[in-house]
């Protein structure tokens, strides 16, 4: 899979993409991530990428031309399944959307800033608008990093233990059960006996009951929503 990210702050991706699972997946050739600086496409003298809002309200808006030129260049090179704009008024990201997008070949993610991007980009280029939560970030970069991570960890071969993505919270419509490691007794805090029993059937049943109980207590709205998982 290939992901192209359009941003005016390319350096913001250095941290999140240079560690752990994302780094490993790129090194293994399972994913390609290309960061494009929108400013490189600005044709005006000062390489401005933003301008005042028509109609007089305060703040700056990202201009059409540099973004359009960047997307046009990419689309001339290959086909993209989605051109995604990260925005707080987009569709709320969930596991089902990550699952669906992990099946695509090429994706573009556009990060907005300031007051937003010129609406004509949304009308003529964007095929999907995604929010990572009901709060406002300073820009789309952190949201694009979250979205990228949620997709890439699902690609076959990215996680060492192939089953571990499948047992994530949300993947089967339930939150994950609690997990423990050694020692079995830490200063009197004991690991539940069933997990030490070696009885696979009982352990499975316990894990399932814990998942169900956790979901009922913490996220009751998830129960019965399995069909949204894609």
Residues forming contacts to ligand ADE in the complex (CB under 6 A) are 86-88, 131-133, 135-137, 140, 143
- Minimum distance from CB of 154 to ligand ADE (Å)? 19
Secondary structure (DSSP) of 50-67: EEEPTTS-SSEEE-HHHH
8 within 8 A of 38, measured Cβ to Cβ = yes
**Contact in structure between 153 and 159 (CB atoms under 8 Å):** yes
Strand order in the sheet with 128-131: 32-37, 2-7, 106-111, 82-92, 128-131
Task: State in angstroms the smallest separation of the CB of 159 from ligand ADE.
Answer: 25
Of the pair 63, 174, the CB lying nearest ligand ADE is at: 63
Nearer to ligand ADE, 66 or 140 (CB): 140
CA distance 86 to 112: 7
d(CA 122, CA 187): 57
Shortest separation between residue 226's beta carbon and ligand ADE, angstroms: 25
Q: Write down the least CB distance from residue 88 to ligand ADE, Å.
A: 4
- Min CB(147)–ligand ADE separation in Å: 8
Closer residue to ligand ADE (CB): 59 or 157: 59
Nearer to ligand ADE, 129 or 172 (CB): 129
Q: How far is the CB of 103 from ligand ADE (least distance, A)?
A: 22
Helix (H, G, I), strand (E, B) or coil at 127: coil
Kindly state the smallest distance separating residue 132's Cβ from ligand ADE, in Å: 4
CA distance 197 to 74: 56
Which residue, 113 or 159, has its beta carbon nearer to ligand ADE? Answer: 113
Residue 26 and residue 32 in contact, taking contact as beta carbons nearer than 8 Å: yes
141 phi, psi to nearest 5 deg:
-65, -50
Written as six digits, the tokens of 147 are: 């979205």
Whose Cβ is closer to ligand ADE: residue 36's or residue 174's?
36
Query: Where is 23: in which H helix or E strand?
Result: helix 20-27
Closest residue to bound ligand ADE by CB: 143
Q: Which is nearer to ligand ADE, 130 or 159 (CB)?
A: 130
Q: Which residue has the tokens 């990550």?
A: 98
């Amino acid at each position: 899979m290939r992901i192209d990210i359009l941003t005016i702050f390319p350096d913001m991706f250095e941290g999140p993409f240079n560690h752990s699972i994302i780094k490993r997946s790129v090194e293994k050739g399972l994913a390609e991530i290309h960061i494009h600086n929108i400013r490189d496409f600005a044709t005006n003298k000062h390489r401005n990428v933003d301008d005042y809002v028509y109609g007089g309200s305060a703040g700056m808006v990202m201009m059409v031309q540099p973004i359009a030129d960047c997307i046009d260049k990419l689309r001339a090179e290959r086909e993209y399944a989605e051109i995604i704009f990260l925005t707080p008024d987009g569709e709320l990201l969930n596991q089902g959307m990550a699952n669906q997008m992990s099946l695509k070949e090429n994706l573009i993610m556009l990060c907005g800033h300031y007051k937003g991007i010129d609406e004509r980009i949304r009308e003529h280029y964007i095929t999907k608008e995604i929010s990572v939560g009901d709060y406002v970030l300073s820009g789309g970069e952190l949201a694009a990093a979250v979205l990228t991570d949620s997709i890439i960890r699902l690609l076959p071969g990215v996680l060492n233990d192939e089953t571990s993505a499948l047992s994530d919270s949300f993947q089967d419509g339930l939150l994950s059960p609690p997990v423990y490691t050694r020692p079995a007794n830490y200063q009197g805090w004991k690991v539940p006996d069933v997990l030490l029993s070696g009885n696979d059937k009982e352990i499975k049943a316990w894990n399932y009951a814990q998942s169900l109980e956790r979901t009922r207590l913490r996220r009751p709205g998830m129960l019965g929503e399995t069909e949204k998982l894609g």
